[in-house]
Amino acid sequence: MKFSWKTLLLWTLPALVIGFFLWQTAFPSLPTDMSRNTASTRMSYGRFLEYLDAKRVSSVDLYEGGRTAIVEAIDPELDNQLQRWRVDLPIEAPELIAKLRSANISFDTHPTRNDGAIWSLVGNLLFPILLIGGLFFLFRRSNNVPGGPGQAMNFGKSKARFQMEAKTGVMFDDVAGVEEAKEELEEVVTFLKKPDRFTAVGARIPKGVLLVGPPGTGKTLLAKAIAGEAGVPFFSISGSEFVEMFVGVGASRVRDLFKKAKENAPCIIFIDEIDAVGRQRGAGIGGGNDEREQTLNQLLTEMDGFEGNTGIIIIAATNRPDVLDSALLRPGRFDRQVTVDTPDIKGRLAILEVHARNKKLGADISLDAIARRTPGFTGADLANLLNEAAILTARRRKDAITMLEVDDAVDRVVAGMEGTPLVDSKSKRLIAYHEIGHAIIGTVVKAHDPVQKVTLVPRGQARGLTWFMPSEDQGLISRSQILARIMGALGGRAAEEVVFGDAEVTTGAGNDLQQVTGMARQMVTRFGMSTLGPMSLEAQQSEIFLGRDYTARSEYSEEIASRIDGQVRAIVDHCYLEARRIIRENRTVIDRLVDLLIEKETIDGEEFRQIVAEYTFVPEKEQYVPQL
């Protein structure tokens, strides 16, 4: 535990005050002459009068206003030696002075000093002063602690982090894979640095830019790059920091934030995860969240209300634009909506080049091959991929990252950690036939993505895996490609049934069947790829937004629903029959591939295709193309 001088004083001074009060209680007043106001024994007042009458008293000193006396007298019990006694005198004893004078006994009166009253006054004042000082010290110290007691009067203050010139360490050169979004935001920086170029032709500086995209695509990174490039004051805050349990605090923080921004204009305000405060108003069942709606109303007013905000550019980021209030998205508040989507193959290659700058790569590393193997990866995924590869390299005590570490890192990121290898058994052979069933259909069917790797090494919940690598980024997918993917997903179950019989099929195809049913249903209800015709019968699946989607009803009748189910079944049945036929016709090569897979546990795509070509000659234009 760490102590400081302030802490030591804070605990020592109250202890001294308490000790002083205890001392005052025990000794309320002190005489002037401590040496004389002492006596070894006490004497009663009656005995003192007897000694006085017997003329044994030689001197008397009166203290404390006549309430105490120190008496010097001859003690007959001690051979007439002179002794000193302390006598407590009664309050009313006026005859005592007369007796002392009549007996010619010397006596003296010692007045009481007022030290006790002074010390009592000082003590009474000192304790409250120390108490108030200690509380002030604690209160001042808690101001520096987020959420401490000292923050009680600062609820309405903005929690935005402010930097006069944000040195984030990120520039536009450090952002790759989102070139379109970067061009839009570079223009915003130019607005801030050289506004005359645009105002000369009548252009107006945009008030707000909304960054929209899936998690991990680089929205916050772009905001850091803007802060690093612009060289203007930069405020950054999260949407959740506006809302508190106390009503009106969020709106007060919005006002305080924009007040500070106006004082430092031109500047940038970055609001991360704005959907925490910008959700649609009145969308909840039984009414909305009043506090959040008040905060949103204040934000709308500050962005474009009766009083304009000159020179303040607001940049916000969210991955849920569908729940934002329409008033927040209109021009004048957010003039631009920049989509930061998952990168294509060129974008992934550029991102890999950025993240590989501080990595030691081996001679066999091909960033282009890694970019081709990682479709759908975001910038955060690619950064994590190279970091996992570097960790594996250090764990294996290698000097540089090789393609082996990258391949293992991809498998780990996508499928999970590597498990214990399977022992040779009936279960291992069944899993091998299941995975070869997926791979053989992916190789024989023309429209399917080529096989990249087949492995029996368990990862995550999967006991075996078959990887497919698309030849290009597919923004559009044809009907034949969807049918080929359905057939490929059913290849494992078909292989189990053909080889081991219907009674030996396993639960290993559970996840495959879920994917098959989903793809077939989307063909019928969303893409119009069935005999029902080109109709969209269902919207894209999304989570229910209470109050807006809760009361949504089906847009088709029960008869159409029955026909949809029939079409889905027809597609799945047709593809399953085709998959079983392909398995039966290629049984010889499947048996050889299973034996090889059990021996090696992993077969890469090129070797797999070479073995299939030795047993099956299928001209490219005559490969199986499923027809429905």
Q: Known catalytic residues?
A: 435
- Single-letter code of the amino acid located at 103: A
CB 444 within 8 A of CB 622: no
Q: Which candidate, 512, 449, 504, places its Cα nearest to that of 480? A: 449
Q: Which residues contact 394 (CB under 8 A, 6 or more apart)?
A: none
Rounded to whole angstroms, what are the CA distances from 218 to 237, 334, 338? 17, 19, 12
Dist CA 40 CA 76 (whole Å): 17
Q: Which candidate, 325, 327, 303, places its Cα nearest to that of 314? A: 303
User: CA angle, corner 233, sides to 231 and 237, nearest 5?
Assistant: 120
Beta carbons within 10 angstroms of residue 141's beta carbon: 15
- Single-letter code of the amino acid located at 505: V
- The strands making up 81-88's β-sheet, listed across from edge to edge, are 41-43, 81-88, 68-75, 57-63, 106-109
Rounded to whole angstroms, what are the CA distances from 487 to 455, 491, 594? 20, 6, 20
As a whole number of Å, the end-to-end CA separation of the chain is 76
Q: Which residues contact 618 (CB under 8 A, 6 or more apart)?
A: 444, 624
Dist CA 465 CA 501 (whole Å): 22
Which segments of 99-233 are extended strands (E)? 106-109, 161-163, 208-212
272 beta partners: 238, 317
74 beta partners: 82
**β-pairing, 57-63 with 41-43?**
unpaired
Q: Which candidate, 213, 158, 159, places its Cα nearest to that of 185? A: 213
Residue where the block lists tokens 């498990």: 419
Q: Per the structure block, which two tokens stand in for 444? A: 């024989």
